[in-house]
Structure 1
Amino acid sequence: MAKSSSEDTELRRACEDAIEGTKQRILMSIRVAKSKGAWGKGKIGSKGSQMAKPRVIAISTKDKGEKSKAFLRVFKYTNGGALEQAKMYKLKRLAKMEVLSSDPSGCTFMLGFDNLRNQRVAPIQWTMRNLNDRNRLLVCILTICKEAMGHLPKVVGIDIVELALWAKEHASAVPKHHSFEDEDDEDTSSDDDSEVSENEFVSRAEEEDMEALLGTSVMGVGEAEVFSERLKRELHALEAANVHAILESEHLVDEVLQGLESASTRVEDMDEWLALFNVKLRHMREDIEAIESRNNKLEMQSRNYKALSEELDKLLERLHIPAELSDCLAGATFDEASLNTHIKACDQLGAALRGFDPPAMDPSFSKIRAVREKRAELDIIKLTFARKACQYLRDYFANSVDSMLNDKSSFSQRGQLKTPDHADFRSKCKKYARLLHHLKFLDRNSLAPLRKSYCASLNKLLRQEAREFSNELRAGTKAPKVPTVWFEGPNPNQNFDTSSIFEAYIKMLTVFIPLLVDESVFLSRFLRFEAASSDPPCHDEDDDSDDDFSTEIDEIALEMGQLNESLRDLLDGIQEDFYAVVDWAQKIDPLLCISMHGITEQYMNDQKSEVAGYVRLLLDAMEDRIASHFIRFVDESRHQIEKYDRNVKQTGVMAFVPRFALLATCMEQYIQGQSRDLVDQAYMKIIGIMFVTLDKISQCDQKHMDIFLLENYAAFQNSLYDLANCVPTLAKFYHQASESYEQACASHITVAIYYCFERLFQFARRIEDLMVTNSPEEIPFQVGLTKTDLRKVVKSNLSGVDKHIAAMHKKLVKNLTCNELIPTLWDKCKKEYMDKYETFAQLTAKIYPSENVPSATEIRDVLNSI
């Protein structure tokens, strides 16, 4: 047998979830099918019926102290398969319970509630899955009704006795209930007996009558069949008597039927009137509810408008500025005398404008018309005042600078250098610092033309001062005669002093660089470029956020961009006067570029402030110009050295070698402990072209190439010996020249030795070559290496060896122009010769032991005697 849905715990839990929060509990839940029939008794399959829909009927109770309430709830399924409540009925209103006879299975029934009789809707038919489910539900409902109301609803189409017998057999399937409360009546007591019996559906009197009748009828009857036959006969007799009585009272029946038809017609008419009245009453109730809802909304709107009006009055009062201050800001006059009054008015105007921003005002208030009108009024006053104030300040700056330009005593004059002094001008400008602060808050865009006007006026003054100072500085400095060509013409004179030129350049930097930095700093502060000068927003300590931080970063970046633009307008063009001094000093003494480059780099490194950025750019441009002048001087020097290479035979030490030593000495004096990069680059370029030129010149005379190279490289080393010990770059080229010198010496010595002793040392070389593949005993038997050949070689080169050595010495020193090199060169030659001869003596002693060959000691004595 299939399990009943009333025992489905999941179904009961779903029902409890659907009524969660109602403080009710589910006694029974069971699945049913819902359909609607026609008026009267529904007929299964008739046109009035509709398709059945799945539903769940649940019996729920709600505790109320010692009593409880009982409800019948109808649940339907949602699209998601969950249960939701569709209808709820109070069981105390249950008046009728009818099982439809049109359903042969007996599983379809209707429930009639007394508070639903007047509704013109078809009654709902409920169909169970089987009779057991139907009986469970009906027994549960009847039991609860009896306990809750003290009487049962009318039961139609079902035998109450059979239902009671079924309840006895399935007592465990019927839930037990106790003390229920009727909302409208007094508490109704219920039987303590929890078991369901037919006594619950049949009164005590009816039960006694039935027992008496059964007892009387059974007396004297032996068998049940006889008693049954007797009852049938009595029943037929009673029916016949009833039919006869009905036929005799036919006219009465007709009168009753007519009365019933008349009453039925009136009832139908009254039902139509009641339905019509019900519709009108429903519409009237809806209208009344709508009117009440509108009245409530109007009352609430009226209260809100009144509260809003009060808040607006308070808000506008807080944003109000006095009429006299408003007239002052919007007036047509603006002068220095009224400055304090305008500052005071700006304070109140700024406070009123900040009142529109959070947290002073809720953002939702900004859309209110009164607030927008007030904001527009203050904006007009703000823009009018900002335009008027900016125009006044532009004229003030221009007039102040023009008065300073017209005062010629403030500029450098002939025979007198005048240091610029802007203290008085800055003092006058500082009086308007607070006004500028307010202008930045009131109208930030108005500061751009004001800054341009200030920078243009002050730039005109600065350029005039720098021009006059530069001209007088050059005119008042005596320029000595300084050689500008170092590697052509006569030897340059080193007796010159250009310190006054360098001091003039330092004077220019000392006077104007601090002035330009001070003007840059004053500009950044006076025209409110500092990001910290703007009014900080009012936030709580815990209200900081990344958005606020990023906004502040963007504002700082914007301020720095505007500052750089204003600094460019302030200082643009003043570099030309610095360039004039640089060009003037370079023409007098190109080597001054070294000192000027170093002092300029030092000044540039000293400028650490952000607002001095354009001054650093100015110094950087000057440094580049100085470097370009010096590079041009170096390139000209290289070109002068290259002119020595004319494919013409030249001997002796080239003039550019000692001249470079003089140039290097002067350049080291100009460095004075400053950066060496510029000078080291010059060394590398000049010495590089010197070595290349020496190699090219030496190629013109292959015969005397070694003599030319060793003399020039020796001169290079001698002239730069002291500087190479303290200058790393020169030391590197000194070692390179030393290597080239040694190579030239070795080549020249070899030529001199082989010039006089070629046969001797070639004989020794042939012996060395053969010893690789032959034993010493076999070599005397080789062609050209016999003992006879050895005697011939010894006779030709070692007979009168002193004469041969003297010839070698003569060959060595021939064509040398530097006699200082002869002792060193002869010592190198003797050492090289003795090394070669000792090798020859060892070979002959090993291969020709019987031959008489002069020893190395004898030859050394001869060498030392020359």
Structure 2
Amino acid sequence: MAKSSADDQELRRACEAAIEGTKQTVVMSIRVAKGRGMWGKTHKLGRDMAKPRVLALSVKNKGQRTKAFLRVLKYSTGGVLEPAKLYKLKHLSKVEVLTNDPSGCTFTLGFDNLRSQSVAPSQWTMRNIDDRNRLLLCILNICKDALDQLPKVVGIDVVEMALWAKENTPAVSNQNNQQEGPAASTVTERDLKVTVEKELVSQAEEEDMEALLGTYVMGIGEAEAFSERLKRELLALEAANVHAILESEPLIDEVLQGLEAAKNCVDDMDEWLGIFNVKLRHMREDIESIETRNNKLEMQSVNNKALIEELDKLLKGLHVPTEYAACLTGGSFDEARMLQNIEACEWLAGALRSLEVPHLDPIYANMRAVKEKRAELEKLKATFVRRASEFLRKYFASLVDFMISDKSYFSQRGQLKRPDHADLRYKCRTYARLLQHLKSLDKNCLGPLRKAYCSSLNLLLRREAREFANELRASTKASRNPTVWLEGSTGSGQNVNAADTSTVSEAYSKMLTIFIPLLVDESSFFAHFMCFEVPALVPPGGTASGDKSEYNDDDPNDDDLGIMDIDDNDTKAGKHTGELAALNESLQDLLDGIQEDFYAVVDWAYKIDPLRCISMHGITERYLSGQKADAAGFVRLLLGDLESRVSMQFSRFVDEACHQIERNERNVRQMGVLSYIPRFATLATRMEQYIQGQSRDLVDQAYTKFVSIMFVTLEKIAQTEPKYSDLFLLENYAAFQNSLYDLANVVPTLAKFYHQASEAYEQACTRHISMIIYTQFERLFLFARKTEDLMYTIPPEEIPFQLGLSKMDLRKTLKSSLSGLDKSISAMYKKLQKNMTSEELLPSLWDKCKKEFLDKYESFAQLVAKIYPTETIPTVAEMREILASM
């Protein structure tokens, strides 16, 4: 037998190459011819002639499932196989061998998923019957094993195919074993053939068929006769079966009776089951009702228990302990009982807070019991606040009255007593915690308490300041300096520097040193004691002024009340501007009136020595620069008022001194240096000694006012005698410079006036010297001025022809002016010396006079050389020698 194309390994490899990448395995590949029914019909040759194709069966394993495909491959122009069509074997519904092909090698495959069932399926023609059976058996085996279904087979006998498979299985297996293809393919095909053989015809059926065929083999001539014979025998067997069935009728009746009895029993049982079902349904409904009521009762029990617990908790909060109620309504405020009062306050604040909405559930807020209890607590709070406020007002007054009644607390004659409030503060601290709780209970109650405290303590502070100031002034020994510093009528023998008034400044400084820290500490203590939310005034270990003083010997933490904030929700200190304003208003009540005693010390010091205002101003400024805490606002205001008071008194002194200077203007005939010029130097020297740090501006303003009045008055006095005004001015300006030379080197303001006086001195000197020169040599320099004026209008050579300017006139002028030159110069010196009271100025003035005369004569000589070149006059060198010899 010729080798089948199904065993061609090259063909199988070509098919696998064509479907590479599809993850499918080729089970069988075989060459076929594709046609469309050439037998018995006429068709066009080119269209319906058979076409070579290759049919390939392939499988693909996907998990537990196996997919099988029938692939149709065709040859391309290069002879390479390429896929043409793809069918899924799970849609194969029919395998039909065509009867119009006598060879039996042509068949069709019908698929139930083809879109067009009207088109005739392709007809596949094999080379021989063996190839046909081999392909069809492989298809049926794959459908049975992989897909669990078999297509309908038409036109071929299954028994015939099974016999063919049995005969050809060994041969196929041997042929496959001898081929060079992969072992996996051979095993698969052989297994498929064996499986098809077992599935189509079992071993028992095969033996029966062989026995049957052996019985009839002798008489069979052809297949048709054998088939007819089998049909007749089948009919006979069926008739025998019917007869047997009819004979078994009694048995059937007995069976039917048994079935009827069984049916009746089943009906009875069904009726009973129906009854039981109804009863069970009713019982189920009863059970559900009982469970529902039980659940409601259980839930009600749980809710009642929770309600009882909540009510117990609420009642516990609404209960007022008898000891607290007694303490709040009628307890004593003695120091021994303060702990109980504080505990009662804490309980009351907590009880009131617990009845507020944030701490109490809103559903309880409108309950009658809660409202009544809140009203009761409010009544307790009002009663306690009223009692505590009344007690504290009386307590503050009693403390101050006790101290005022004891004279040993205050300064006495011969003994300065520094105020000591340590005992007072210690007693007040006993009730600091009570004030904290009163604030948390009712903030409005603090206003009257603060006023009562301020009113009581103000009496004590003013009494202490008054007694201290009186004794301070009485114990200070200092002689009074005259206020007539710059008056011209004062005798020259008066010694204005004789008295030492430093004790006055020391007394004022002591007053500030004692009382300013005291007032700052009292402000700080009051702010904390009366629960103002402000920062601390004095840092530990220092005073408000920044200086270590005798008042700082106390504990630096003297104002620490030893208490903490009760209400944690209160805003931190310094955050409320309203609190700060209220504090400053209270401090005004606390300290108001005490400034009068400070003013008295300032006025007393001014009467003794007005210049001590400079020292007091510096002391005040130093203390004022140290007051930076907002809560010590009144102390800053007090220091500011003191500074203004000192400045006002010093301005009063400056105004009086300026008035004394202006009174010199009334003296019509005054010669020489005015008396207030050297006195001003003495005054300025002492003022510089009194300056302490920051008083520079005050003194500079006084200098400016003094010197301005002095210069204005000097100019006015000089105008009363115009003939001697320049001499009067230069002597006074020179005296001003000489007296202030040393101070001008260190005081910028005086240096400015020194330079101003120097310029005025130079101008007065120039005017006075020019007047003396023109008086002595008037004709000579008048002739020079005329010629100089004509130089602007006519040429120099024409000037000698002008009237009064001829050469003859020049000679006459020279003869009258330069003859007796020694006498003229001596007369000029005597005139310069005449009426001068400051002899020390004469040498410098005479040098200036000679220099000015030489300059003017040199200008005259130049004019003569230019206008009268033929005339001869004394040269400048000769004139200089003559002046030098004088």
* TM-score between the two structures when normalised by the length of structure 1: 0.61
Matched ranges for 1:207-246 at <5 A: none
What amino acid maps onto 2:483 in structure 1?
T
Give the counterpart of 1:794 among 814, 818, 828: 814
Partner in structure 2 of residue 19 of structure 1: none
Label 1:444 to 1:839 Cα distance change in 2 as closer, same or farther (>3 A): same
Report sequence identity in percent.
64
Partner in structure 2 of residue 317 of structure 1: 316
Deviations 1:138-184 (A, max 9, x none): xxxxxxxxxxxxxxxxxxxxxxxxxxxxxxxxxxxxxxxxxxxxxxx
| Contact 1:441/1:534 (8 A) holds in 2 | no
Select the structure of larger CA radius of gyration.
Answer: 2
Deviations 1:398-452 (A, max 9, x none): 1111111122112111111111111111111111111110001101111111111
Partner in structure 1 of residue 510 of structure 2: 507
Where 2:325 maps in the other structure, the secondary structure is: helix
Partner in structure 2 of residue 525 of structure 1: 528
Matched ranges for 1:686-765 at <5 A: 686-765=706-785
CA distance in 2, matches of 1:554, 1:473: 38
Do structure 1's residue 475 and structure 2's residue 480 form an aligned pair? no
Partner in structure 2 of residue 516 of structure 1: 519
Partner in structure 2 of residue 127 of structure 1: none
Deviations 1:217-238 (A, max 9, x none): xxxxxxxxxxxxxxxxxxxxxx
Once the two structures are TM-superposed, the CA of residue 696 in structure 1 deviates from its matched residue by: 1.0
Which structure 1 residue ranges, 5 or more long, are not aligned? Answer: 1-299, 539-547
CA distance in 2, matches of 1:656, 1:587: 22
Matched ranges for 1:631-646 at <5 A: 631-646=651-666
| Contact 2:473/2:507 (8 A) holds in 1 | yes
Where 1:644 maps in the other structure, the secondary structure is: helix
What amino acid maps onto 2:508 in structure 1?
Y
CA distance in 2, matches of 1:835, 1:320: 117
Partner in structure 1 of residue 879 of structure 2: 859
Once the two structures are TM-superposed, the CA of residue 773 in structure 1 deviates from its matched residue by: 2.6
| Contact 2:534/2:631 (8 A) holds in 1 | no
Matched ranges for 1:774-793 at <5 A: 774-793=794-813
| Contact 2:678/2:739 (8 A) holds in 1 | yes
Do structure 1's residue 613 and structure 2's residue 614 form an aligned pair? no
Partner in structure 2 of residue 831 of structure 1: 851
Give the counterpart of 2:593 among 559, 566, 573: 573
| Contact 1:319/1:353 (8 A) holds in 2 | no
How much is the aligned-residue C-alpha RMSD, in angstroms? 2.5
Do structure 1's residue 428 and structure 2's residue 445 form an aligned pair? no
Label 1:350 to 1:835 Cα distance change in 2 as closer, same or farther (>3 A): same
Deviations 1:642-691 (A, max 9, x none): 11111612111111111111111111111143421111111111111111
Label 1:438 to 1:536 Cα distance change in 2 as closer, same or farther (>3 A): closer
Matched ranges for 1:298-447 at <5 A: 314-315=313-314, 317-318=316-317, 320-331=319-330, 333-357=332-356, 359-361=358-360, 366-447=365-446
CA distance in 1, matches of 2:476, 2:534: 46
Deviations 1:793-822 (A, max 9, x none): 111112222222222222222111111111
CA distance in 1, matches of 2:771, 2:369: 112
What amino acid maps onto 1:844 in structure 2?
V
Label 1:753 to 1:327 Cα distance change in 2 as closer, same or farther (>3 A): same
More displaced, 305-314 or 394-403? 305-314
Partner in structure 2 of residue 145 of structure 1: none
Partner in structure 2 of residue 819 of structure 1: 839
Deviations 1:562-615 (A, max 9, x none): 211221111111111111211111111111111011101111111222222111
CA distance in 2, matches of 1:334, 1:481: 57
Label 1:691 to 1:364 Cα distance change in 2 as closer, same or farther (>3 A): farther
CA distance in 1, matches of 2:670, 2:348: 91
Give the counterpart of 1:602 among 613, 622, 625: 622
Deviations 1:354-377 (A, max 9, x none): 224463235675444433332222
What amino acid maps onto 1:787 in structure 2?
K
Where 1:645 maps in the other structure, the secondary structure is: helix
What amino acid maps onto 1:398 in structure 2?
A
Count of aligned positions: 556
Once the two structures are TM-superposed, the CA of residue 312 in structure 1 deviates from its matched residue by: 6.2
CA distance in 2, matches of 1:390, 1:537: 24
What amino acid maps onto 2:577 in structure 1?
A
Label 1:379 to 1:749 Cα distance change in 2 as closer, same or farther (>3 A): same
CA distance in 1, matches of 2:671, 2:356: 91
Matched ranges for 1:23-38 at <5 A: none
Where 2:835 maps in the other structure, the secondary structure is: coil
* TM-score between the two structures when normalised by the length of structure 2: 0.60
CA distance in 1, matches of 2:373, 2:301: 24
CA distance in 2, matches of 1:601, 1:851: 78
Do structure 1's residue 770 and structure 2's residue 790 form an aligned pair? yes
What amino acid maps onto 1:833 in structure 2?
F
| Contact 2:385/2:438 (8 A) holds in 1 | yes
CA distance in 1, matches of 2:354, 2:508: 57
Once the two structures are TM-superposed, the CA of residue 334 in structure 1 deviates from its matched residue by: 3.4
Once the two structures are TM-superposed, the CA of residue 865 in structure 1 deviates from its matched residue by: 1.2
Where 1:703 maps in the other structure, the secondary structure is: helix
Once the two structures are TM-superposed, the CA of residue 335 in structure 1 deviates from its matched residue by: 2.7
Label 1:302 to 1:719 Cα distance change in 2 as closer, same or farther (>3 A): farther
Partner in structure 2 of residue 490 of structure 1: 491
What amino acid maps onto 1:520 in structure 2?
S
Deviations 1:191-218 (A, max 9, x none): xxxxxxxxxxxxxxxxxxxxxxxxxxxx
Do structure 1's residue 667 and structure 2's residue 687 form an aligned pair? yes
Once the two structures are TM-superposed, the CA of residue 331 in structure 1 deviates from its matched residue by: 2.1
Label 1:616 to 1:305 Cα distance change in 2 as closer, same or farther (>3 A): farther
CA distance in 2, matches of 1:369, 1:506: 68
| Contact 1:334/1:388 (8 A) holds in 2 | no
What amino acid maps onto 2:726 in structure 1?
D
Once the two structures are TM-superposed, the CA of residue 552 in structure 1 deviates from its matched residue by: 7.5
What amino acid maps onto 1:722 in structure 2?
D
Where 1:726 maps in the other structure, the secondary structure is: coil
What amino acid maps onto 1:738 in structure 2?
S
CA distance in 2, matches of 1:818, 1:582: 42
CA distance in 1, matches of 2:821, 2:804: 22
Where 2:665 maps in the other structure, the secondary structure is: coil
Which structure 2 residue ranges, 5 or more long, are not aligned? Answer: 1-298, 536-563
Label 1:406 to 1:822 Cα distance change in 2 as closer, same or farther (>3 A): same
Matched ranges for 1:458-473 at <5 A: 458-473=457-472
| Contact 1:320/1:352 (8 A) holds in 2 | no
| Contact 2:533/2:574 (8 A) holds in 1 | no
Deviations 1:724-782 (A, max 9, x none): 11111111111111111111111101100100112222222222222223222222222
Label 1:633 to 1:309 Cα distance change in 2 as closer, same or farther (>3 A): farther
